[in-house]
Structure 1
Amino acid sequence: MFKKLSHGLSSIFKVTLSEKNMDKTMEKLKLTLLKSDVAVQAAEEICKATEKQLTGEKIGAFSKKDTLQKAIQNSIYQILSVENQFDLINTIKNRPNKRKPYVIMVLGVNGTGKTTTIAKMVHLLKKENISMVVAAADTFRAGAIEQLGKHMKKLDTRLIKQEYSSDPASVAYDAIDHATAKKLDTVIIDTSGRQVTNKNLLTELQKIKRVNTPDLTLFIGDSLAGNDVLVQAEKFNESIGIDASIITKLDADSKGGAALSIAYITKKPIIYIGVGQKYEDLIHFDPKWFISKLMGNTKN
């Protein structure tokens, strides 16, 4: 995991830093981050924060092996902790008005693993004794309703659906109405996954959100999508509004830059990460764990 970025950072950590080679070292750090799909703005912010921490340090301290490493770790942590970490389970269980379901709207383009991630979320919440219903509001992609339905059947969870080409906002509304009547805790709304350049998609999503006022709007980002995921996150955040993100396929990612970039661009927390294909392979995102992986820690 993150071998490319870890290897690049490890070579920087070996530098015996001095005032003379500060600029050269920061440039090398920036290039290493950019090669690992870290957004330019995020890479520059990390370098700026790192240099600021080192400024004023005594020259002798620069010879310590961990001085630069700690500064970079702190700079990355600042980006990943743009807001207080969001605890979804506690938020659902302790919502002020328990007569109403907690509504989650899920966004993401085709191929990000959105449907599988929803299934993983259902599995995770059911383990916490949280009741729910899922809305099949992707009424555009052929097979989307059936694919989601297979997962919900395995997970013994009700799926609210209509015919293809039905109004997605109406499907979501029906699911919320059902959950309210049955006194269920949560509604998860699946949405159509087309490219963010599709204006009709963005208009459709805006309507779903306007009509159903979700409590949480989740962006699903594919860590293997490179710079494309940055464009997706930025566009969805500008057009729809993102409250938090889930990063998928992190187990297959050799770079690790996507998570950093999404956190920086959206200024919203990453709450879970996908690390495999099984329902159990959705885990809580811990910035400290993530950074330890970037630093080359192979344990756990």
Structure 2
Amino acid sequence: MPKLSLGKVFSAIIEEVAYTELDEKTLKRHADAFVLRLVEAGVALEVAEALVADLSGRISGKKLGRFADKRKALLDELRALIRDVFLSAGSVDLDGLVKRGVAGKGFFSILFLGPNGHGKTTTVAKLAYRFRKQGYRVAIAAADTFRAGSIEQVSQWASRAGAEVVSLGYNADPAAVAYEAVKKGEKGDFQVVLIDTAGRMHTKKNLMDEMKKIARVASPDFKVFVGDALVGNDAVEQAKTFFSEVGFDGSILTKFDADIRGGAALSVVYVTKKPLLYVGTGQGIEDLKEFNVEEYLGMLFE
């Protein structure tokens, strides 16, 4: 298992402080350099500063036995710190939520939101395929109604996933498309309704207002932010804005298989305090896996 560059940064930090006196003054002297290294590994600046401060608090003045392996002790503290970031965000069993939703009211709806070009439609199709394999009747709401070819793209992916498409055509009100799909779920036509929306830049207020309207009209059972692991710091700013403007219950990061740095996952979870549900591991319909914090730690430290 190749070590992510973020893990190499962590190891380098430990090597630098393992053989010094672990006092606040020494750690403070190294802090700025440590923050810079973390940022270079794809960690958002505010997260890097917080992590260095948290780590300093954990190891400052740490008392170790005369023959203790200081390097191992510090790595254990760092591993525990990273694990705590993910554990504090909680966890979500989306399969379980869908199962209970279908058993209770007959259907479950999920709204997907995020920037353009980050693989949202592909991710929706992968989840549609996952739920179809579980035996559910699945629909994808084609609520990206202004981008050329968007409905055809959804239709192609839906066909591969074995899902149906709910569409009102191009230039239709995206909120109306989402509402129509949810109504079909309420009538029993579908058990899982996945609402694919247009990608939008987090800095465009009118587009964020439209996203809020879709969420208000569709009243989904669950909302998912889809981000790109490769954009690093930008993913964090995007996640923060979508979370504050619309809100969401968890995240999915695409292109996780191509992310050699590893900082985006840690950063998005740190700033939103919401769990990372799945990661994209390729372009195939099955290339979506549940995020596992222990596997992630293994990629960082082993």
- TM-score normalised to the size of structure 2? 0.91
CA–CA separation in structure 1 for the residues paired with 2:79 and 2:252: 22
* Aligned residue in 1 for 2:284: 278
Alignment of 1:92-131 (within 5 A): 92-95=98-101, 98-131=104-137
* Aligned residue in 2 for 1:73: 79
State the secondary structure of the residue aligned to 2:77: helix
* Aligned residue in 2 for 1:226: 232
CA–CA separation in structure 1 for the residues paired with 2:124 and 2:178: 15
Alignment of 1:2-13 (within 5 A): 3-13=4-14
* Aligned residue in 2 for 1:153: 159
* Aligned residue in 2 for 1:191: 197
Tell me by how many angstroms 1:244 deviates: 0.7
Which residue type is aligned with residue 64 of structure 1? K
Tell me by how many angstroms 1:9 deviates: 2.1
- TM-score normalised to the size of structure 1? 0.92
Which residue type is aligned with residue 125 of structure 2? A
Tell me by how many angstroms 1:127 deviates: 2.1
* Aligned residue in 1 for 2:45: 40
The question of whether the paired residues in 1 share the 8 Å contact of 2:43 and 2:266 is answered with yes
Percent identity reads 36
Count matched residues.
296
2:146 to 108, 122, 140: 140
State the secondary structure of the residue aligned to 2:248: coil
CA displacement 1:217-258 (0-9 Å, x = unmatched)? 110010111322122111111111121100110111111111
Task: Classify 1:11/1:88 alpha carbon distance in 2 versus 1 (closer, same or farther; 3 Å).
Answer: same
Which residue type is aligned with residue 35 of structure 1? E
* Aligned residue in 1 for 2:63: 58
Which residue type is aligned with residue 219 of structure 2? T
Tell me by how many angstroms 1:87 deviates: 0.7
Question: Is 173-182 or 235-244 further displaced after alignment?
Answer: 173-182
The question of whether the paired residues in 2 share the 8 Å contact of 1:100 and 1:180 is answered with yes
Tell me by how many angstroms 1:63 deviates: 4.4
The question of whether the paired residues in 2 share the 8 Å contact of 1:101 and 1:183 is answered with no
State the secondary structure of the residue aligned to 2:79: helix
CA–CA separation in structure 1 for the residues paired with 2:45 and 2:204: 25
Which residue type is aligned with residue 122 of structure 1? A
Which residue type is aligned with residue 99 of structure 2? K
